[in-house]
Amino acid sequence: MTRRGWIVPLAALALIALVPGLRAVALGFLDGAFGGRNLFNLWSTLSRASILLGMAIAVLVAFRAGLINLGGEGQLVLGALAAALVGIYAPLPGWAVASAALLAATVAGGLWGMLALWLDRGLRVPLLVGSLLLNYPAVQFASWLASHPLRDVASGSAQTHRIDGAARLPRFDGTILDYGIFLTVAVALLAILADRYTVFGYRLRMQGLAPDFARAQGMPTRRLGYQALFLSGAIAGLTGFTAVFGFAQRYVDGMLTQPLYAWTGIVAVLLAGMVPWRVPVAALIFAVLATGAGGMERVAGIPRESAQIVIALAILWLAGSGRSPMPGRGR
Amino acid sequence: MIWDATFFESVPRFVTPLLLASLGGALCHRAGVFNIALEGMMLIGAFFAVVGSYFTAHWLGGLGAAVASGLAAGALYAWVGVRRGGDDIVVSIGLNILAAGLTAFLLRAIFDQRGQFDDPAIATLPRIALPGIDAVASLGPLLSGQSVLFWAALALVPLLAWGLTRHRLGLRMRAAGDNPAALRTLGVAPERIRTVAVLGSGALCALAGAQLSISNVSLFTEGMSAGRGWIAVVIVMMCAGRPVWILPAALFFGLIDALAVRAQVFGLPQQLTEALPYGLAIAVMAVALRRAAFRVRT
């Protein structure tokens, strides 16, 4: 940033610090994102960051391979649903239930992702549109299951029964943050390292950056595409598993769609310029924005949807400044 | 019976928003703008139709506010996506998220409501009764008593078809899409033409939203467009942006919507019937895109 570039943010900071009303709002934001009793809000920020990280990495894998997968929402929800089904019905010891649910979630998400690519390759429905349209049946199906056959009627809302205590992901002592964050961070690390250091990562990247070159080099582009979409969907499914076995402890209708996790994940990847190591940073920033906005709502009555507006404006600004890379679109 | 007066009465109600949004999308498609923010533009229109109608206590106020908000959304799209050269997909994603956030935010800020706002003070669109046709079985409820927007949307089909083949602006729109270099040689900036197309699509999608919120109901619900903007995107792609083909396609999907709602009366769960149009959209697209003439460039 040039020296003049610092003036505006500094002036803004000074203004916030000096004007009492603004200072209260800013403190509310900080408290909402990092404070609370026993740092409750900090843990919920990290919990949200974990989900966003998972969704962003899922998007990243597909985007790096030049495949515009907008079906993260459906893959996430189906993964969560598969996890919940196994979690409720599998008559196994706790650790086995969790492992089986994790497997089911990744497979469900992955297959839904592959289906989107098959629609593109097999039936010529553009991936962009096909993957997006697949979200609706998935989300509606999950909503139906949660509100009819799987419903925990006694609870009074559209949600499944709770996952058995022994199978749930444990929480850090005295916090609401669960070990699911280990899973998403591990996946993120693997993805970042694989992108940089493995042949598979290189091939995916080449396919995204220069598909003709990849084909000319004799790369199995067809198989690579399906692998990328399976991975992308599987990571989304895994994220769904961490939500069901982690903070929610069950599948609640709308819990994954209402906060726009999938869309925010896409925006995080775009804002990170599709540079892998920047993606976790972007995911964390968006989580802070969302919980911080909750704090501003409590302090100053500013609706928390302000966070979504900020995210949208950020992506529009980015697009307008000509720094928005989109896979396979020559920019 | 599923084929009763209630059913026929409901068909145009579902066709209208799809038709309006698809025609808006068609303008962009022909002008070479890959606008997939139809969903967001509809949502914005639906919200501001309620705002305008509530505060002016007149449906014209609602439509005016909707169109103004649609133009504003279009202007934002045009500024970022056309003038500044932002990627269409990125801009569209941004605009869709903005629409979801902004409408929920303003719902709280203006009406102090979360999730939904309804009020008897929201004036609804007038329905046009056709005296002679009223009595005819099934045709009566289908055509008589429909909102002004239904007829406006129908009238727009030949108008746009004519405009895109005969009028200078329409021809320039197609040139902006098919061969911008030729247009530039003519001394016309394709960006200018595309801006007009995006503004037009914003206004039409906003009208589609108004049909959702102030026609048969008088309320706004968060996420009320519920994916109809994406069905419109599918229609535009399938029909390659040709208004004359968009009409039957919109009729088809509107009919499916109406059927899906009717099926709920017979005990099918709402979630499953709501998923139907999207599954069908994929299938129809797969069939339509088999023909080379429909091949999509994205």
Which residues numbered 186-215 in A keep a CB inside 8 Å of some CB on B? none
Q: Model-level pTM?
A: 0.89
pLDDT of residue B265: 77
Q: B interface mutation test: which of A136, A147, A270, A306 has the most B CBs within 10 A?
A: A136
Residue A4 banded pLDDT, cuts 50, 70, 90: low
CA–CA min distance A322, chain B (Å): 6
State the nearest Cα–Cα gap between A312 and chain B, in angstroms.
5
Spell out which residues of chain B touch residue A331, defining contact as CB-CB under 8 Å: 87
Closest-CA distance of chain A to residue B86, Å: 5
Distance CA A159, CA A237 (A): 18
Q: Which residue of B has its CA nearest to A310?
A: B98
Give the whole-angstrom CA distance, residue B34 versus residue B177: 10
Chain B residues close to A266, C-beta within 8 Å: 93
Q: Which of A253, A271, A305 to mutate to test the interface with B (most CBs of B within 10 A)?
A: A305
Residues 6+ apart with CB under 8 A from A194: A200, A201
Contacts of B91 in chain A (CB under 8 A): 316, 319
| pLDDT band for position A40 (cuts 50, 70, 90) | confident
| A52-89 pLDDT, tens digit each | 999 999 999 999 988 989 999 999 999 999 999 998 88
Please calculate the CA angle A29-A33-A37 and round it to the nearest 5 degrees: 105
Measured in angstroms, the CA of B85 and the nearest CA of chain A are apart by 7
Tokens linked to B92: 């569209």
Q: Helix, strand, coil % (nearest 5) of chain A?
A: 70, 0, 25
* Among chain A residues, CA nearest to B279: A137
What pLDDT does B293 receive? Answer: 47
Cβ distance A312 to B279 less than 8 Å, yes or no, reads no
CB of A248 closer than 8 Å to CB of A163: no
Phi, psi of B220, rounded to the nearest 5 degrees = -120, 135
Residue A164 CB-density burial (10 A; 0-12 exposed, 13-18 middle, 19+ buried): middle
Contact B85 A322 (CB under 8 A): yes
Residue B219 CB contacts under 8 Å (≥ 6 apart), including other chains:
B50, B116, B117, B118, B119, B122, B213
- In chain A, where are the structural domains located? 39-258
Which domains are delineated in chain B? 5-126+145-294 (1.10.3470)
Task: Please indicate if any CB of chain B lies within 8 Å of the CB of A267.
Answer: yes
Contact A329 B79 (CB under 8 A): no
Asked if residue A2 has pLDDT above 80, the reply is no
Beta-carbon contacts of residue B233 (< 8 Å; ≥ 6 apart): A129, B25, B36, B38, B39
pLDDT value at residue A190 = 94
Three-state DSSP at A178 gives strand
Q: For residues A134 and B230, what is the distance between their CA atoms, to the nearest angstrom?
A: 11
Whether chain B has a CB inside 8 Å of the CB on A298: the answer is no
Task: Using a CB–CB cutoff of 8 Å, tell me whether A182 touches chain B.
Answer: no
User: Phi and psi of A126, rounded to 5°?
Assistant: -50, 135
DSSP state of A49: H
| Per-residue burial over A31-70, b = 16 or more CB atoms within 10 Å of its CB, e = otherwise | bbbbbbeeeebbbbbbbbbbbbbbbbbbbbbbbbbbbbbb
Query: Which residue of A59, A70, A121, A129 is the best one to mutate when testing the B interface, meaning the one whose CB has the most B CBs within 10 A?
Result: A129
Which is it for strands B146-147 and B127-128: parallel, antiparallel or unpaired? antiparallel
A118 Cβ under 8 Å from any chain B Cβ = no
Give counts: helices (H), strands (E), chain A.
Answer: 13, 0
- Predicted pLDDT at B1: 55
Mean of the per-residue pLDDT values of chain A: 86
Which residue in B41, B79, B92, B105 has the most chain A C-beta atoms within 10 A of its own C-beta, making it the best mutation to test that interface?
Answer: B105
The first and second tokens of residue B223, run together, are 């996420």
- The reported pLDDT for the residue numbered B298 is 45
Q: Which residues contact A192 (CB under 8 A, 6 or more apart)?
A: A276, A277, A279
CA distances to A52, A274, A276, B51, B223 from A262, in Å: 8, 16, 17, 30, 16
- A273 contact partners, CB below 8 Å, separation of at least 6: A323, A325
Residue A127 corresponds to which amino acid?
Answer: L
Of the candidates B7, B30, B53, B80, the residue with the CA atom closest to the CA atom of residue B194: B30
**Does residue A34 contact residue A290 with C-beta atoms inside 8 Å?**
no
Check B296 against A126: CB less than 8 A apart.
yes
Residue B279 is encoded by which pair of tokens? 């599954």
Kindly list the distances between the CA atom of residue B278 and the CA atoms of A75, A263, B141, B167, in Å, as whole numbers in the listed order.
Answer: 16, 19, 27, 35
Question: What does the pLDDT read at residue A321?
Answer: 81
- The interface pTM score, or ipTM, of the predicted complex is 0.87
Is the CB of A309 less than 8 angstroms away from the CB of B230?
no
Residue in chain B lying closest to A138 (CA): B275
pLDDT tens, residue by residue, A121-137? 888 888 888 899 999 99
Does residue A260 or residue B141 have the better pLDDT?
A: A260
* Percent of chain A topping pLDDT 70: 96
What does the pLDDT read at residue A273? 84
* Residue A324, pLDDT score: 57
User: Any chain A CB within 8 A of the CB of B85?
Assistant: yes
Residues of B whose CB is below 8 A from A308? 97-98, 100-101, 104-105
Asked if A68 has any chain B CB less than 8 Å from its own CB, the reply is: yes
Q: Of A103, A79, A45, whose CA–CA distance to A286 is shortest?
A: A45
Question: Per the CB < 8 Å rule, is A316 touching B98?
Answer: yes
Contact criterion met (CB < 8 Å) for A141 and B275: yes
CA–CA distance, B118 with A5 (Å, rounded to integer): 46
* Residue-level pLDDT, tens digit, chain B, 298 residues: 566 777 777 888 889 999 999 999 999 999 988 899 999 999 999 999 999 988 988 888 889 999 999 999 999 999 998 888 888 888 999 999 999 999 999 998 888 888 888 888 787 887 877 776 666 666 667 777 778 888 889 999 999 999 988 988 988 888 888 888 888 898 888 899 999 999 999 999 999 999 998 888 888 888 888 889 999 998 998 888 889 999 999 999 998 888 888 877 777 788 888 888 888 888 888 887 776 444 444 4
